[in-house]
Structure 1
Amino acid sequence: MMQKRKYFPYTLPVIFFLVMLVDGHISSSILGLFSVPMDFTSNLLLMFLMFATFQMGKPYLVIWSGLIGLLYDSYFYNVIGINLVLLPIIVLLMYGLFEHVIPSTFTIILSFIVFVTLLSVGRVFLLVLFKLTETTILDFFARTLAPTLLLNILLIAILVVPLKKMFNVKK
């Protein structure tokens, strides 16, 4: 059984905010590094939210994911509602999944890939639905989803073991 860390309720909001900012810098740096018309989106915030599900209660994390989603929307998109809606929904899906799946390194990595895909598809769906962008399915898969998955698979492969220790996730 995982022992809950007593200081997490106080430190996680700050960690989420800092990770949100780091996400933006990683994405911007990669876009500046390559001169290709692709959208590499870092999802460290989603990764930290996923690991936080092992330590925090559902109401706490759903509320904070909504608040950080609101900040994310206002800081990166200038459109309120996309991450405000998607992050709490995905956090609820994370809780549902990890009630039935043992969090081994392999299942955590696979789960993260699924959650990144859901978040990316959800963002594009909402952006297209509200006519904030026009894109084709082929463009989305080739220029957004594939590079985003590649970047996030590298990030989770590097960070899964340290984050399992930080969040006290045992098999």
Structure 2
Amino acid sequence: MTIKTRKIVGQVLFILFAFYLDGLMKWAFLNNMNRETIVVLPQLMLMTIVMLTMRIEDRRQLIIYGIVFGVVYDSYYYGIIGLYTVLLPLVMVGIDHFRFLLIKNNMGYDLSVYFLALTFLQSGIYLLERLLQQTSTDVLDFITYTLGPTLLWNIVVFFILYIPIANLSEWLVKYRRDSK
């Protein structure tokens, strides 16, 4: 197995581990918080995907990751294949397209890109659910009771987990031809 193949397997395992932690956070912490009208959605998998997208150069690989993990997320959480399957690759290609604007990867840039990606993804899911008539929530209730708490929770988690996730994603993407 070549080093590049090991790195790709490591990236996939890293995203799957974040997917597992998403479910664990939702089950362990947020079940007690989501009893009222407020809904908090953990997006640790999106955080790892954003970190990897900021560092991976190959757009084809990003689209494959987006489609595969979008289908996995849809099939596990929603049951409607298409929400994450469409929006996750769009987020990843958008980040890749505007990456040239970023001088270097640091916490401020990563936080702003993650914040925009999370806002786009949650708003896109809401719009698609409205188009498919899966929700009857109006826009102001969505912003107040879902988008705001979700952004707040995920930004706090971002600050707590930034250093380990950034270092691991940097290590998983770095590829040297001379090393074995």
Structure-2-length-normalised TM-score: 0.85
User: Does residue 121 in structure 1 map to residue 118 in structure 2?
Assistant: no
SS in 2 for 1:29: helix
Q: Do the aligned residues in 1 keep the contact of 2:52 with 2:170 (CA within 8 Å)?
A: no
The C-alpha deviation readout for 1:36-79, integer Å capped at 9, x for no partner, is 32111111111111111203521112111111110111111011
Q: Which moved more, 1:53-62 or 1:104-113?
A: 53-62
Q: Do the aligned residues in 1 keep the contact of 2:51 with 2:169 (CA within 8 Å)?
A: yes
Q: Distance in 1 between matches of 2:4 and 2:49?
A: 15
Matched letter for residue 139 of structure 1: D
Q: Which moved more, 1:144-153 or 1:160-169?
A: 160-169
Cα root mean square deviation, aligned: 1.9
Q: Provide the identity percentage.
A: 26
Q: Do the aligned residues in 2 keep the contact of 1:70 with 1:80 (CA within 8 Å)?
A: yes
SS in 2 for 1:59: helix
Q: Do the aligned residues in 2 keep the contact of 1:30 with 1:40 (CA within 8 Å)?
A: no
Matched letter for residue 107 of structure 1: Y
Residues 56 and 8 of structure 1, relative CA distance in 2, 3 Å threshold: farther
Over alpha carbons, which structure has the higher Rg?
2
Q: Distance in 2 between matches of 1:45 and 1:89?
A: 15
Partner in structure 2 of residue 65 of structure 1: 66
Partner in structure 1 of residue 159 of structure 2: 157
SS in 2 for 1:80: coil
Partner in structure 1 of residue 137 of structure 2: 135
Residues 131 and 17 of structure 1, relative CA distance in 2, 3 Å threshold: same
Q: Do the aligned residues in 2 keep the contact of 1:19 with 1:44 (CA within 8 Å)?
A: yes
Q: Do the aligned residues in 1 keep the contact of 2:56 with 2:62 (CA within 8 Å)?
A: no
Q: Distance in 1 between matches of 2:22 and 2:40?
A: 11
Partner in structure 2 of residue 100 of structure 1: 101
Structure 1 residue 6 displacement after superposition: 6.5
User: Does residue 43 in structure 1 map to residue 43 in structure 2?
Assistant: yes
Partner in structure 1 of residue 30 of structure 2: 31
Q: Distance in 2 between matches of 1:21 and 1:164?
A: 18
Structure 1 residue 24 displacement after superposition: 2.2
The C-alpha deviation readout for 1:12-38, integer Å capped at 9, x for no partner, is 222222211221221233332224321
Q: Do the aligned residues in 2 keep the contact of 1:5 with 1:55 (CA within 8 Å)?
A: no
Q: Which moved more, 1:68-77 or 1:23-32?
A: 23-32
Residues 112 and 84 of structure 1, relative CA distance in 2, 3 Å threshold: same
Q: Do the aligned residues in 2 keep the contact of 1:55 with 1:167 (CA within 8 Å)?
A: no
Partner in structure 1 of residue 89 of structure 2: 88
Gaps of 5+ in 1: none
Give the paired residue count: 166
Residues 111 and 148 of structure 1, relative CA distance in 2, 3 Å threshold: same
Partner in structure 2 of residue 12 of structure 1: 11
Structure-1-length-normalised TM-score: 0.89
